[in-house]
Chain A
Amino acid sequence: EAQVTQNPRYLITVTGKKLTVTCSQNMNHEYMSWYRQDPGLGLRQIYYSMNVEVTDKGDVPEGYKVSRKEKRNFPLILESPSPNQTSLYFCASSLSITGVAFFGQGTRLTVV
């Protein structure tokens, strides 16, 4: 089954404790990206990747890092999480920039 898998689904952490949210897709997609969804702000793109070893900043990259060492994986790293990064995060992948994007089920992160 074609899917985008994010882990964990829920995470509560403390300020400053490094964390990684994993994202994996099994569709051989070139384009992957991370979004955060906040009330009243919709979905905002954090980082995206056009292909392996090619990543670029989206609209709200501050406080986040990503890597794309393999085509299928695109982890989101928060080196020093802060409470303003409490949000619902989605990973997505598509064959190309104009391809249909498949989203993961989301990761609800709370930073206290």
Chain B
Amino acid sequence: DQQVKQNSPSLSVQEGRISILNCDYTNSMFDYFLWYKKYPAEGPTFLISISSIKDKNEDGRFTVFLNKSAKHLSLHIVPSQPGDSAVYFCAATSSGIGNQFYFGTGTSLTVIP
């Protein structure tokens, strides 16, 4: 049973526009969320995280929003650049459920020049 879901397998965006990647989760015990970016033939790299005590975290062009009541988080990339083309995974964890990480299935973002 997938506890973290990314329902959009792919997304295409024009360069300079906003990319919005979405993630839903089912377990209300999750209290820490992360986004990773993955290029082909490489391991995932950390992008940004957010604790459940916050509803927004910003790092340069990347902002993560957390809506706990909806069990939903989103990653905004503004402005999008061709180098952002990659697969993005969201992940969730909680020390209250054994320190496991649960990843979504990923969204492949293509930024069109």
Contact = CB atoms under 8 A, between A and B. Distances in A.
Interface of A: 4, 31, 33, 35, 40-45, 48, 50, 56, 58-59, 90, 92, 97-98, 100-106
Interface string B56-92: 0000000000000000000000000000000001010
Nearest to B42: A105
A48 B100 contact: yes
A58 B100 contact: yes
B45 A103 contact: yes
A42 B43 contact: no
A45 B44 contact: no
Given A41-B105, A42-B89, A101 B100 contact: no
B93 interface: yes
A97 B91 CA distance: 12
Given A48-B100, A58-B101, A59-B102, 11 more contacts: A42-B4, A44-B103, A45-B101, A45-B103, A90-B44, A97-B99, A100-B46, A101-B34, A101-B36, A101-B101, A102-B43
A50 B43 contact: no
5 contacts: A42-B105, A43-B103, A90-B44, A92-B43, A106-B43
Interface residues of B, number: 26
Q: For B43, B46, B100, B106, which residue has the most chain A Cβ atoms within 10 angstroms?
A: B43
B104 A42 contact: yes
Contacts of A56: 98-100
B105 to A, nearest CB: 4
A33 B49 CA distance: 18
B27 interface: no
